[in-house]
Amino acid sequence: MFNAKAYSAASATSLLAHTPIKRRDPTPHDVQIEILFCGICHSDLHAVRNEWSSVMPTVYPIVPGHEIVGRVAKVGSAVTKFKAGDLVGVGCLVDSDRTCPNCQKGLENFCPHMTLTFNSPDKHGTAPVTYGGYSDSIVVDERFVLRIPSNLKLPGAAPLLCAGITTYSPLHRAGVTEGKKVGIVGLGGLGHMGVKLARAFGAHVVVFTTSPGKKEDAIRLGANEVVVSRNADEMKKHAFSFDFILDTVSAQHDIDQYIQLLGLGGNLTLVGGVTKPQSLSSFGLIFGNRSVSGSNIGGLAETQEMLDFCGKHNITADVEVIPIQKVNEAYERMLKSDVKYRFSIDMASLKSE
Ligand SMILES: [Zn+2]
Ligand SMILES: [Zn+2]
C-alpha cells in the first residue's frame, strides 16, 4: 500500500477536508493513475451528506469523485491496454462481477455486484469502502479505465465520465440523428452536455428552461431554439412535434406538459433523480403511443464510444476550474445552480496540503 492525499468528509454534517488515505499497490491487472482533474457531480454532494441513505447509506470517511481524468503513473505486469504516461479516465464504476448477464452485454452499470468508484465495499480490503477521485491518485483494474482522446482539454473532459455518458447513452439509444427534433429540459450540468451531444448527432435541438436569462447561453451551446417552459403559448407551438425529449431536471416538475410535445411514438427519458414520486397522465401516453423511460450512465464500451465521439467532435463540458480548497464553497454554489456548468477540481492544488 502507499499513501495518497485526499479530501474526505468525516460525517454527514462535516466539511470536506484534507486526509491522508491508503491506496493498494497495483496488482497485475491494475493501473495506477495520477489524478489531474476531477469533476464535481451533484451525487457527490448527496453521498457526502448521506441524502440517499435509504438506498446507499454513506460509510464515513467518504472520499467522493467519479469524474476522474489523469495520467497513468504505473501499470501492473499483466496490463496490456495502457502504459505509463497515457491520458485516462475513470467514471462511476471501478469493478463488477464480469459474469452476470448484464456484464456480458456490456452493461456493467447494471451489474448487481458492481463496485462504485466511491462508497462501495472495497474488495481489496485497502479500506472499508472505495475512495473516489478527490485525491492525487487512484488504482483501478484496466478494464474499468478509459482512454481520453488527446485533443480534449482535461478540465472539461472530466465531467464526460458521468454527465457526458448520462446524456450520451439515452440520446444514442433513441437513435438521435440528423432530421430528428430533440428537446432538452433543463440547462445545468447534464442539460448543457445534452445540448452539445444532441447537436453533434445532427438533431434540431430545442432547450426548455424556466429562466429567460439562459436563452443566449443555450444558443451558444448549440441549441437551435429556446422555449421558456412557463410560457404556455410558446409551449403549444411545439405540440406533438418531438421525436425525443431528454429531461435532466432533478426537482419536482410537470412532466405532462412535455409529454404533450412528443410526436407519434415519441419518448421522454428522465435522467434527473427526483426523490418524490411524480404524477403523469396516462392519456398523454395513450394518445400518441408515447413512452417515458429512465436511463442510468452507461457500460464501459459505451463510455469509451462516447469519449471517442467527443474527441471527434471536440466536445467537453463547460467548467469552472477550482482548487480543492474551494470544494465546500463549490457545493454551496452548486446548490444554487451558481456554476456554468460544472466544477472541475485541479488536483495540483492538493500538493500544497
Ligand atoms: Zn455523477
Ligand atoms: Zn455483472
Rg of the chain over Cα atoms, rounded to whole angstroms, equals 20
Cα 133 to Cα 16: distance, rounded to the nearest angstrom: 13
* pLDDT of res. 96: 98
Residue 182 · residue 198 · CB < 8 Å: yes
Ligand 1 midpoint to CA 287 (Å): 35
168: nearest Cα among 311, 344, 327, 302: 302
Question: How many CB atoms neighbour CB 12 within 10 A?
Answer: 14
Ligand closest to the CA atom of residue 103: 2
Q: Is 305 helix (H, G, I), strand (E, B) or coil?
A: helix
Peptide bond connecting 277 to the previous residue in cis, omega within 30 degrees of 0 = no
Ligand 1 midpoint to CA 20 (Å): 24
Residue 116 · residue 130 · CB < 8 Å: yes
Ligand 2 midpoint to CA 91 (Å): 17
Q: Which three cell numbers stand for residue 83?
A: 502504459
Ligand closest to the CA atom of residue 132: 1
Cα 182 to Cα 199: distance, rounded to the nearest angstrom: 9
Per-10-residue mean pLDDT, the chain, length 353: 98 97 98 98 96 92 98 98 98 98 98 98 97 98 98 98 98 97 97 98 97 94 96 96 97 94 98 87 95 97 98 98 98 95 98 94
Ligand closest to the CA atom of residue 272: 1
Cα 184 to Cα 353: distance, rounded to the nearest angstrom: 41
Ligand 2 midpoint to CA 249 (Å): 29
